[in-house]
Structure 1
Amino acid sequence: MLAERDDGEANLVGRRLSARGVETLRFDTAWFPHRARLAVELGPSGWEGTIHTPEGPIDPADIGAVYYRQPRPFEPAAGLSEAEARFASTEARFGLGGVLASLDAHWVPGTPGQVADAEYKPLQLATAARCGLSVPPTTVTNDPAAARAFTAEQEDGAVYKALVHKLIADSGEPRLIYTSPVAPEEIDEGVAATAHQFQADLTGKKAADARLLATRRGCAAVAIRAEHPEARRDFRLDYAALDYAPIEVPARVAEGCTRYLSVLGLAAGVFDFCVTDLDWFFLECGPGAQWGWLQEATGVALSDLIAEELMASL
């Protein structure tokens, strides 16, 4: 499992695998090179040797499946200049990262390359539409006039949604960018500075949000309900006041999610939907998004889905 030690999702999956008699090893990529050593040579069937970690040695040939769970960046050795540290981090990514990417193993939710590609929001939305999932009216633009025209056309208003959820502030610390309502008159020429995503605001029609974990072998979902107006638009604004409950997934939605995974070559995905009285509207799919707190709140065995997918190739 490529994850840091205190990762909640990896811990839940690890317990499920251990209960089924499957041996697991955790590898936090931030251990390399300080606390992990790599010594492999190329053989007829791939890299042979050992990756030494604080949790024990790893023989690449013994790995049958990999849970790729938001691993941390490699941390360069102390005492390097800024340029040397950048070079060392890049070499680690292409060196150890390349050895890991070459493993003849089943990757869940996918290989690093597949997961990276699947993070593109425009790709997610287009794939969802092609797979038969309902998608809210959306535009991606850096044209202020086009942005104003789109937002004016939306009967129930429009929202701005960042294409990535985190902004690196001047302090160097990341902060979340929340879904925000936007009116045509609020859009100025600053939109021209980069790509922006605007979408129809479904808040007034929303019965609940739903976070759905899908694998090639099944899916399960949890409804997320909020009373606070801002949290109804973006539940991340008020976790303390959210209510959770299992929710049945319509067959059409489940089938669309399965097709989505197949198109992007993924073995699993964490889907977010806006659920109205009439339909489920796809919002995004984060291959490595969090779901552990939903299992703890509702008892829905999401970790079983991941464990079974990992075991499928063993």
Structure 2
Amino acid sequence: MPAGGSTVLVVTRLDDATADEVIIELNRRGVPVARLDPGDFPSSVTLNAAFDGSGIAGTLVTETRTVDLDRVRSVYWRRPTPYTADLAMREQTARWAIEEARAGFGGTLAALPGAHYVNHPWRNRNAEHKPAQLATAARCGLNVPPTLITNDPERARAFARTYRPVLYKSLRQTEYTDAYGRALTVWIEDVTPAHIDDRVRHTSHLFQHRVTKVADIRLTVVGEQMFAVRIDGSPGVDWRRHYERLEYTSVSVPDEVAKGVHAYLDTYGLIFGAFDFGLGPDGSWYWYECNPNGQWAWFPDHVTSPITAALADQLQHGGIV
């Protein structure tokens, strides 16, 4: 498809450095790009979608772009902000309006004819649930550490005694702020039986055996291409807390891991996935999770450049690369 043809639609919030990298590369290639945040609908975005026997037609109008719905070649679905409603609406009316926006506007964005999605938002959603991830990874032959999801404090303490050392991990990255509006993060932490009390009953908790590891690995997959990076230098169990101390080395992917990862992505119909592994002293890769929309732009240029190019290829050529 010629670069002067149809548009690549990038669905994300304003402050998304990962999407920025891909947009810059597409602009360099002369590929038409439109950026859209569904959280701006309906205040600064207008949708006109017409459906008949020939399919879907119409326009999507932002403050700077007009996009023909039947001329979108690819959709890069990143991290849009949540839908909102007019502040003057009553609470129940606002909830109704938000759900209507999700169904109408979001549903249209997920139904663009012939568009190549990286990834389709419904596939992202299906792949975000940690219990399903764990079960799928095991079926695909990946090495999953013993894991317990429970709200039973006695069962959690027994697990911690059996598999010590044990980590606590959140089941998803839910946006959370303090009283001052500052974003908070739930870090991965070591836990002992003494740390576990009756508050566990309040919701689901994930506990996992902490494997013996010499490094962490982030494996970013774009289509058939794999970009694996060994991460060294973290003094704690959660390397995300120590970016300033980390060292990155590109590494090859063992054949059995590559096979399991491709099977995993095929199960969910994903084009892109960011996998986290622990590297054992004997070279074993221990699977932790797959984020179907994971970040990668914090890596140094020699790591980000090939990932950027691979994603731009997918979006420019509609998956035919």
Would you call these one fold, judging by a TM-score over 0.5?
yes
Counterparts of 1:123 and 1:173, CA distance in 2:
31
Which residue of 2 is the match for residue 40 of structure 1?
Answer: 49
Which residue of 2 is the match for residue 287 of structure 1?
Answer: 292
Which residue of 2 is the match for residue 54 of structure 1?
Answer: 63
**Which of the numbers 249, 261, 279 marks the counterpart of 1:257?**
261
TM-score scaled to structure 1, two decimals?
Answer: 0.91
Which residue of 2 is the match for residue 192 of structure 1?
Answer: 201
Counterparts of 1:67 and 1:299, CA distance in 2:
17
Q: Is the 8 A contact 1:274 1:282 kept in 2?
A: yes
Per-residue Cα deviation, 1:38-92 (whole angstroms, up to 9, x for no partner): 1221122322111111231011100121100011122323422333322222111
Which residue of 1 is the match for residue 166 of structure 2?
Answer: 158
Which residue of 2 is the match for residue 208 of structure 1?
Answer: 215
Counterparts of 1:144 and 1:75, CA distance in 2:
37
Assess, with a 3 A threshold, how the Cα gap between structure 1 residues 196 and 31 changes in structure 2: closer, same or farther. Answer: same
Residue identity matched to 2:251: I
SS of residue in 1 equivalent to 2:184 = strand
1:218 aligns with 2:225: yes
SS of residue in 2 equivalent to 1:25 = strand
Stretch of structure 1 that moved more, 265-274 or 82-91: 82-91
Q: Is the 8 A contact 1:36 1:52 kept in 2?
A: yes
Question: How far is 1:95 from its partner?
Answer: 1.0
Stretch of structure 1 that moved more, 121-130 or 161-170: 161-170
Q: Is the 8 A contact 1:217 1:305 kept in 2?
A: no
Counterparts of 2:60 and 2:134, CA distance in 1:
38
TM-score scaled to structure 2, two decimals?
Answer: 0.89
Q: Is the 8 A contact 2:234 2:242 kept in 1?
A: no
Question: Once superposed, what is the RMSD of the aligned Cα atoms?
Answer: 2.0
1:241 aligns with 2:248: no
Residue identity matched to 1:286: N
Counterparts of 1:89 and 1:164, CA distance in 2:
22
SS of residue in 2 equivalent to 1:133 = coil
Assess, with a 3 A threshold, how the Cα gap between structure 1 residues 50 and 168 changes in structure 2: closer, same or farther. Answer: same
Correspondences of 1:55-70 after superposition (within 5 Å): 55-70=64-79
Which residue of 2 is the match for residue 266 of structure 1?
Answer: 270
Assess, with a 3 A threshold, how the Cα gap between structure 1 residues 169 and 72 changes in structure 2: closer, same or farther. Answer: closer
Any gaps of 5 or more consecutive residues in structure 1? none
Which residue of 1 is the match for residue 176 of structure 2?
Answer: 168
Q: Is the 8 A contact 1:131 1:259 kept in 2?
A: yes
User: Among the aligned pairs, what percent are the same residue?
Assistant: 38
Which residue of 2 is the match for residue 108 of structure 1?
Answer: 118
Any gaps of 5 or more consecutive residues in structure 2? 1-9
Which residue of 2 is the match for residue 99 of structure 1?
Answer: 108
Q: Is the 8 A contact 1:219 1:305 kept in 2?
A: no
How many pairs align? 307
Question: How far is 1:186 from its partner?
Answer: 2.4
Counterparts of 1:300 and 1:62, CA distance in 2:
28
Counterparts of 1:134 and 1:55, CA distance in 2:
47
Per-residue Cα deviation, 1:114-162 (whole angstroms, up to 9, x for no partner): 111111011111111111111111111122222111111125x111111
Which residue of 1 is the match for residue 158 of structure 2?
Answer: 149
Correspondences of 1:175-186 after superposition (within 5 Å): 175-186=184-195
Stretch of structure 1 that moved more, 74-83 or 277-286: 74-83
Q: Is the 8 A contact 1:223 1:244 kept in 2?
A: yes
Counterparts of 1:181 and 1:195, CA distance in 2:
17
Assess, with a 3 A threshold, how the Cα gap between structure 1 residues 99 and 298 changes in structure 2: closer, same or farther. Answer: closer
Residue identity matched to 2:292: P
Counterparts of 2:175 and 2:13, CA distance in 1:
22
Counterparts of 1:59 and 1:28, CA distance in 2:
17
Per-residue Cα deviation, 1:267-303 (whole angstroms, up to 9, x for no partner): 1111111112221111111111110111537455111
